[in-house]
Every structure is written in C-alpha cells, then in structure tokens.
Structure 1
C-alpha cells in the first residue's frame, strides 16, 4: 500500500530506529559520574532539598523545621504571601464566598483585598472574560486537538497576534496581559474541549461566561450542556483552584516561568512554556495518571477491601508489572514534602464528604487504603532518602471524577489555577532580576580531530 506524504510523516522507519539507537548510545551518561562531580540531579540533593536558585515573596513550601539545632521533617505547610493555606481556605469557607478571585488578588499584589478591592478586582476580571472577534472560529475550532493542554497552549500563542503591545515587558503591560489570560483561560479550556468533541461528532454548544458568576461557577456552567451545577460542586472546584494556584518558585512549571522570563521574551511565550512543563505526567499530568492507575486497579483487584490483594497490586506496580509498567505508584511522594502535603489534607476532608453524598464511598475507601499502604511498600522495595506521602494529585483526580469533569480537563483545571502563580512569578522576575538564568553543565565528551568525509 502506497502511503501519502502526510502519512509518511508519522512513520517510525527502520532508519529512524537505527538513528534512535545511535542517539541513545551517544547520549548515555554513567550515573556514577553525577555523584563524582557532585551534580545535583533535578537541582535537588539526595534528601530532596532544592538548590537555592532565587528568592521569592510569593509562596513558601515548608517540610522541615529546626529541632535542637537539627533539621527534621515535619507536616507540610504551604504559605501564600505569608498566609497559611489552611487559614486562607477556612477564611473564605467561613465567609461563604468563593476564594479564587480573593486569593488571586493576594498572590498578584501581596495583600489580602478589602471588600471594595475584591469587588473591583472581580469586575476587572469580568470585563476581560472576552476573546478577540472570531477567535473561537478561526483558532479554537481549527485543527482541534484531543489534548487540551496543547490546544490551550496553541490558543495562548495565537493571542500574541491580536496584541498590539505583545512584546512590551513593562509591569503595567505584563499585568494587563496576565489579567487577560487569567480571565480568558476557562474559555480557552472549555471551548477547546467542546471543539474537539464537535469534531468527533458530538453537538456543539458554546456559552459565554456570566458576569455575576465566579470563575469556578463559570467553568461548570460553560462545560455542561444544561448549564446546571450544585453549590457544593462549585465550592469544591473553587477550592481546588485555590490549592493549585502556586507552590513555591522551584516547582517545574514555575521555575520554567522564571527561566523563560529571564530571557526577556513575551508573556504569551512564557505561559506556553509553563503549560508545556505542567502537561508532563511527573508534574500537572499526574492527577490523570492517578485516576488511570486506579481504574486499572479496580479491574484487576477483585476485592477492594482485601489488603493483601491491594498490596500485591501495588508491589506489581513497583516491579513494573502492572498498569503502565513505569514502576511508579502515582500520587505518592513529593519533591519537597516528606510527612504530609497540606493540600492533600485539605482536599481529603472534602473528598470524604463528597464521596458520601455522591455514593463513591467504596472508591474512597480504596484510595484511603492505598494512601496508608503505599509508603510502607515503597519503603520495603526502594531505597528512599525521605518520607513518602500522598500528594495533592492523589485525591484531586477522584474529586474531579466525582464532579463528572472529563479527564481531558484534569490538567487544564490545574493550569487554570496555576496561571495565577505563573503571572505573579513573572512579574516578580521582571522586577528583580536582570540576568538570564544559565546554570552550568560539565562537558564529558573528549575533544576530537576532524575527519574528512571521504576518510570516515
């Protein structure tokens, strides 16, 4: 069968396989050399402590404290602009209002808003919940992608073309761009999802956001054909957005934001780069992998209450004999936290309530069992240098599934929150740092004499 040029683009030919093998051979670096030259792989030491690469006022991740002059692991704490995340969440829950807009103001500007400041900020975001004329038709509907992170990234890059001051990196202009993107992101996400479903033969419905609704409410309203949602659903989604907004300057996508910003590039390119980082299954894509892993587990494990059967499955995961054979228990472990992830703790309380209301108690009990058993099994099978605990991704996927959110939007919802943190860090980088970020890599290849083509 003769293939078209277009089809041939996607073939992995014998020649490509041969070249790939050559690439792997000449790109291999012995792991012992990283220790010999004291390279901090992942910019972290063996205990998970990150290499100090910058300073920030925006958020702080605490996993250790000083006891008797020594650093010891402690329950994790997360601070936004100096405020404990638990206090912030409890604050807007007690006041019975949505938190996304209030905490966005805090992260961007450094202070908790007054009632008037919050009202004005909400109105500022509302007036920016618009896309350029025909943008949905000309960009989002064209070449729609099954991967929403790629779809949104493409839309963000296309917005550059509609901005007459796209390359202006003054604080005022970058703030304008960031506020636009924060406001537009839910539309880029939901419309991209609907566009792909339409391409696959489903009905198309595009709803404009409503000015009186919060960000979380608008996401649910625009996503569902009947536009209906419960207050509990909106409250939990709003909380998820707040918990995912920021996580220190060193997480992969935020560090990407700092690195790319330091080059002097535009806001749209910076956000697209951060999106590319967040998409990865070791970062924002982890919540999808958790759900997929549990879906496989529920098929394989016949009795979800049998600890021995569940333990056997977890062991097979680590032995690369189950699910995706990557040797990972997704949702377990964190680069910083070793005792507990405060975001997971906050989420867990609401997961339990939602599971009871939605009839997901059996699934919740399985998740809780894995949460308790996985660290023990990992400790038996692997040499670990710090504690292993459930991270926020462990429960967020379950929450989203109970909210009937499509898996294709799990990571984009993370991004819809994290773009606030990226914006704050971009503004901070532009204000304080005037050097491009450029760490060193030690070259290992020996110098060689050039050999003429006919002599090789």
Structure 2
C-alpha cells in the first residue's frame, strides 16, 4: 500500500503490522486543516491555479504547526507526517470551495487514497477505484533527484525548515517541464475524442513537430515500469466506470507513437485517463501527484538534514574577458 511505501521511504524498511497500524493512526488523526487556514483559502481569487493554492497553503501551515520553528530531526519528522496527512485535505478543500460545494471532512477510517477521493467527490470510492488510486500514489511517491526533489534538498540544506523546502518543491513541480504532463495527456485525449480520429491526429501532431506529453523519459529508454503497472488498471477502471473510451484512445495512441517515433509511454500517460474516470478535475492532476510525492520529498529533506552540507554549485564565467571599466561619461549611450 501507499502507507507501507511512506514508511519505507521514511525508515528504510517495510513496516510490521504494528508499525503500519501506528502510522495509519497518526496519518488519520492529522488530516484536518486549522480553521484559520480554511478561512484564508476562502479568500483566494476566483480562477486561482491549484498549484499556486497548494504552494500557498503549505507555506501557511508552517505558521500553525505545533512544532513552530523547531527544526530538529524529530520535529521535522513530525512536520513531515502532518504535511503528508494534510495534503489530500488541502486539495479537496480547494476543489470544493471553488465549486461552491460543502466541505467534506476527512474520514478517519479510510486510507490516504480512498480518503482523497472521498473528500473530493463526497462519496466513498469502491474498492477497485481506491486500489487504483493507492497504486498511483505508490508509483509517484519518489523518483531519485528530479527537479522538485533537488529543490527541496537545496532549500533544507540552508537549515531552513521543511515547510520552506516543500514550498520550493511545489514551486518546481508547477513548471510545465516537470509537472503537468498527465494534464496535457488528458487534454490531448479529449481533443482526439475517439479511437478512429487518433491516428490522423497523432500523425498531424508529429508532422507539426509537436512534443507529445506522456512519452519518453530522462531515465527510462524502454518501458517505464510504472506505466506498465498502471495500464491494466486504467483499462479495468474505464470498464467499471462505463468510460472505456479514454483507455482505448490511450492504447491506440501509444501504439502509433511507439511505431512512428520509438517512444514509450511513461507513468503520466495512463495516470491521465485513470484520474479522469475517477472524477478528478484535470487541473488537479498535478496537485494529486504532489500528495504522493510529499512522502518522497520529506524523506529527502530528513536525509539531507541528518547529514547536511550546504549545496552550493560553482559557476564558470563564459563571457568576454579583459574588459575595461570606463567612466560613465566615456560610455556610449
């Protein structure tokens, strides 16, 4: 489960049943947001980008955390647990506030994955939907030194605190060259609309030299093992929800792109249709990613803090040399 992976990232070993039960209890009891934070969220401007809201709320939570500016390892671990528990609540609260819907409080009997869907949609997800979300969160939990993880480590290495580091990570993730690929994938699928339009749409896109989201990876040069895991679940979920067309279009697109360009689908590709049929709005796909990656970010933060050195790369000057400093009256206007 995702919670087992959280424990693994934080402790280096998979939990025993007793350890997992304790972690679940701690996550479930720390999901609520301070009332003052919710009141502040109500003031966010209409049309506020979800990642901007998430970044702002995470920073704001630092003002209300019971450990304050205690940046010891133990305090940082406690803050990490609270942030991991609260991240789905932030996303669901933001969504329901902007839609003018009544807030759904966290359910202390549900897993992180099921609780996220419950708070967003207002009803308990079925077991398969909850399992698919749990797998998606697990697959996105950590992935070496990507841009957001590196941003978090650089920030905490200055001996700031975890709220600063996670805010920096969210800022990095909000950039389209890092996060947002599955949002672009889903918009592509919606534009294609049907299987019989897929081949011509893709060929036209390739002719125009468009970059197709959801394909290729800096690390994986063949199948992304995370995409392989999600693909079958996406198919099954589409059938169960009566929306099989999105998987079918995805599968057709994947075959065409592999044949024409030799590019393999990455984890963003099949997470797109999975999230969509679960009722998650497209612009919340990246915040949902963050609700998983918070486990990896926080593990990196603690690891950096435990054996810290300031991360300070050197730069090399590449401009012209031997330049004279002229008095301003001698400089051309």
* TM-score relative to the length of structure 2: 0.92
Q: Distance in 2 between matches of 1:450 and 1:169?
A: 49
Counterpart Cα distance in 2 of 1:112 and 1:276: 30
Higher strand share: 1
1:363, distance to aligned residue in structure 2 (A): 3.0
> Counterpart of 2:224?
341
Q: Does 1:235 align with 2:131?
A: yes
Matched with 2:69 is 167
Q: CA deviation at 1:352?
A: 1.6
Aligned counterpart in structure 2 of residue 211 of structure 1, from 83, 103, 108: 108
* Residue 149 (structure 1) aligns with: 51
CA distance in 2 between counterparts of 1:319 and 1:440 reads 39
Matches within 5 A, 1:5-404: 99-137=1-39, 139-144=40-45, 145-163=47-65, 165-198=67-100, 204-225=101-122, 227-248=123-144, 250-298=145-193, 304-305=195-196, 310-320=198-208, 327-378=210-261, 388-404=263-279
**Partner Cα distance (1:377, 1:131) in 2:** 49
Give SS of 2:195's match: coil
CA 1:359/1:128 → structure 2, altered by over 3 Å: closer, same or farther?
A: closer
| Cα gap change, 1:443 to 1:164, in 2 (>3 Å) | farther
Change (3 A) 1:206 1:441: farther
Q: Which moved more, 1:277-286 or 1:434-443?
A: 434-443
Higher radius of gyration, 1 or 2: 1
Aligned counterparts of 1:156 and 1:312: Cα–Cα separation in 2: 43
TM superposition shift of 1:205: 0.8
Give the Cα–Cα distance (whole angstroms) in 2 for the partners of residues 275 and 445 of structure 1: 37
Task: Decide which structure has greater helix share.
Answer: 2
Q: CA deviation at 1:394?
A: 0.5
Deviation at 1:451, TM superposition (A): 4.9
Contact 2:67 2:79 in 1 (8 A): no
User: Equivalents in 1 of 2:265, 2:35: separation in Å?
Assistant: 44
Report the alpha carbon displacement of residue 164 of structure 1 after superposing the two structures with TM: 5.9
Higher mean displacement: 116-125 or 256-265: 256-265
Distance 1:375 1:134, change over 3 A: same
- The separation in 2 between residues aligned to 1:374 and 1:282, in whole angstroms, is 20
What TM-score do the two structures reach when normalised by structure 1?
A: 0.68
Shift of 1:348: 0.6
Structure 1 stretches of 4+ with a deviation exceeding 6 A read none
Deviations 1:374-400 (A, max 9, x none): 133235xxxxxxxx3100000101001
- Higher RCO by CA contacts (8 Å cutoff, separation 6 or greater): 2
**CA gap 1:455/1:195 in 2 versus in 1, 3 angstroms:** same
Is there any run of 5+ residues in structure 1 with no aligned partner, and where? 1-98, 199-203, 322-326, 380-387
Contact persistence 2:195–2:252 (CA under 8 A): no
Match of 1:424 among 290, 295, 299: 299
C-alpha distance 166-316 of structure 1, shift in aligned 2 (>3 A): farther
